[in-house]
Amino acid sequence: MEEARNANIADTIFVELRRKILCGELKAGERLSGERELATKYGTNRNTLREAVRKLEQARLVTVRHGQGVTVADFRKTGTLDLLSPFLQASLDGSEIAHVMEDILEPRVLLLEHATRLAVRRADKGDIERLTDINDLLIAAFDSGDAGVVARGFQRWLDALIDAGHSLIVRWFANPMLDAYRDMVERYPSLWVLEPSFPKHLRDVIRAISEGNEQVAIDATRAYYMRVDGALRGHLQPSSSRDADVSPELPAAGSQDSESTVVPMRRRRSPT
């Protein structure tokens, strides 16, 4: 299955049922078969299956009531951001994915602006050093055009930026989005926005943080992500159909001077 780390039977069933619910195969309000029947269906015993159901319950994907059975919950209404990553992986409705992606962009900028704001206010010397180190690595990777390294390094940059804000709330809000980002990079390794102003953006933000200049940091962040998101939006519309396959090759980084390049996702079907 998709969970490479743990090959638990219970985990596998949990992921499978979650996928079925998130992709609409199991609709809200629908009742699952009894635990005994499900256990047989998945070729395991009741105890193991129950562990999977407990996880579904914890993820608010089902509600369990003694004597009545297990019913699928309306995750669109009661879910949380934890579902973001598995939802993007499971959804079969390309149009809805496009809508969700579109709806992520603005909250993402708001989050990053807020994270940057807190970083300016609260970053200590260690935070700035960490950001500087990652910045150096990122710029080197960017100049050499290694998109994969940049993508992975950027995760560390975001991590460090959020840590620099010293806010539980921002960290907790960011985690599910970082997870989704991680998954996207892993599943669609060719998807990466190469914005020529990327190194300048990083440098500007770090300077603003170390100088304590809040407005400059925010403005730099907002301006950068408006460019990136603009490019992303342009490529999100045409790829609303699921198996769109456009320009799969990864362009070299830094070769453009005024326009950013985006490599649209390419669907990688996992065997079922």
Q: Residue 176's binding partner, choosing from a second copy, DNA, none, with beta-carbon cut-off 5 to 8 A by kind? A: a second copy
Q: Which of 9, 128, 140, 250 binds DNA (CB under 7 A)?
A: 9
> DSSP string of 114-158?
HHHHHHHHH--HHHHHHHHHHHHHHHHHHHTT-HHHHHHHHHHHH
Contact 213, 120 (CB under 8 A): yes
- Considering the complex, what minimum distance in angstroms separates the CB of residue 272 from DNA? 19
Q: Pick one of a second copy, DNA, none as the site partner of residue 33 (Cβ within 5 to 8 A by kind).
A: DNA
Residue number, 57 or 146, with CB nearest to a second copy: 57
The residue among 142 and 181 lying less far from a second copy, judged by its C-beta, is 181
Kindly state the smallest distance separating residue 99's Cβ from a second copy, in Å.
Answer: 8
Least distance between a second copy and beta carbon 252 (Å): 33
Nearest to 21 by CA among 66, 57, 69: 57
Rule CB under 7 A: is residue 66 a binding residue for DNA?
Answer: yes
Q: Does 1 bind DNA (CB under 7 A)?
A: no
Which lies closer to a second copy via its Cβ, residue 88 or residue 149?
88
Q: Which is nearer to a second copy, 33 or 58 (CB)?
A: 58
Partner from a second copy, DNA, none contacting 175, C-beta within 5 to 8 A by type: a second copy
Query: 233, 203, 235, 267: which is closest to 109 by C-alpha?
Result: 233
Residue with smaller CB distance to a second copy, 8 or 213: 8
When asked if residue 269 is in the footprint of DNA (CB under 7 A), the reply is no
CA distances in angstroms from 194 to 66, 69, 94, 186, listed in the order given: 53, 50, 24, 17
Nearest distance in Å: CB 30, DNA? 12
CA distance linking residue 170 with residue 165, whole number of Å: 8
Distance of alpha carbon 109 from alpha carbon 74, whole angstroms: 28
Q: Which residues contact 237 (CB under 8 A, 6 or more apart)?
A: 98
- From CA 144, how far away is CA 149, in angstroms rounded? 10
37 binds, among a second copy, DNA, none (CB under 5 to 8 A by kind): DNA
Residue 48 binds DNA, judged by CB under 7 A = yes
Nearer to DNA, 70 or 90 (CB): 70
Q: Which residues contact 220 (CB under 8 A, 6 or more apart)?
A: 201, 204, 205, 208
Q: Which of 27, 36, 76, 268 binds DNA (CB under 7 A)?
A: 36
> Contact residues for a second copy (CB under 8 A)?
10, 47, 50-51, 54-55, 57-59, 76-84, 87, 99-100, 103-104, 106-107, 110, 114, 167-173, 175-176
Compute CA distances 22 → 81, 83, 100, 101, 239, whole Å.
13, 9, 13, 16, 21
Q: Rounded to an integer, what distance in angstroms lies between the CA atom of residue 57 and that of residue 224? A: 40
Residues that bind DNA (CB under 7 A): 6, 8-10, 32-37, 43-48, 50-51, 64-70
